[in-house]
Amino acid sequence: MAVSIRNRLDQVCADAVDLARSAVTEEEPGAHLEAVPEGERLVTHMFECRLRGYRGWRWAVTVTRVPRSRHVTICETVLLPGPDALVAPAWVPWHERLQPGDLGVGDVMVTSSDDDRLVPAYVRSDDPAVEDVSWELGLGRSRVMSREGRAEAAQRWYDGDHGPDAPISTAAPAPARCGTCGFYLPLAGSLRLAFGACGEELATVYDDSEVDPVSVSRGAGSVDDAEPAEPYGHG
């Protein structure tokens, strides 16, 4: 098998361990760990770093030489993390760090101008409820939810605590579905086919201070036509 020149270790540069060690001026480096070929007549020497707080880090000293010369020169010296180094976690943009419930009183969250969940109000949204209120063009909201935004919200609600797979839903009798309950208040627009709000005060869905959408196929024990397993007594 042919060996690429780029991956071939230049022996003259590889032997220049002492020269590479002398390039580290911040401290006396530890053991020589390895010599890594970087290219033609270009080698990086790795030394153990012994600075406090830098466990697992390595001093990397790159050396080279010109063709037909055995004189090795230093290119650069840098401190790099090794495979066992303690490093900071990967950077996460601020807008990706927020989680549901993080927004507190007085907090302001700016929505990106290119948020895929929103479209300008003058763009057809494929939602009859939006199309019916064409007066919003220039008069009301500047943006409305896009099809993608509605689908994302619907999936989140469906998979949440008020969806058909929630414990309260699976424990309810099969006929007891929110969509057939008189207390069920459907949402407007295209989402009315799948979601609404519960108007029953005694329901275990939520209190009136925070109204979350419930799935039309969600089960509950407080539907309007629920019947007791045994007739109530009169005593």
Question: What pLDDT score does 124 carry?
Answer: 56
| 134-153 mean pLDDT | 71
Question: What pLDDT score does 2 carry?
Answer: 45
Question: What pLDDT score does 80 carry?
Answer: 95
| 155-172 mean pLDDT | 84
| 76-100 mean pLDDT | 87
Q: What is the DSSP string of the chain?
A: ----GGGSPPHHHHT-HHHHHHT--SS----EEEEEEEETTEEEEEEE--STT-TTEEEEEEEE--TT----EEEEEEEEE-TT---PPPP--HHHH--TT---TT---PPPTT-TTEEETTS--S-HHHHTTGGGTTTS-SEEE-HHHHHHHHHHHHHSTTSTTSHHHHHS-TT-BGGG-TTEEEPSGGGGGTEEEE--TT-SS--TTS---EETT-B-TT-TT---SSPPP--
- Name the residue with higher pLDDT: 14 or 126: 14
Average predicted confidence (pLDDT) for the chain? 79
CB 66 within 8 Å of CB 36 = no
pTM confidence score? 0.49
User: What tens digit of pLDDT does each residue of 53-66 get?
Assistant: 899 999 999 999 99
Per-residue confidence band for 131, with pLDDT thresholds at 50, 70 and 90: low
Q: How far apart are CA 156 and CA 49, in angstroms?
A: 48
Would you list the domain boundaries of the chain? 5-81, 110-149, 151-215
| 103-114 mean pLDDT | 75
| 60-75 mean pLDDT | 95
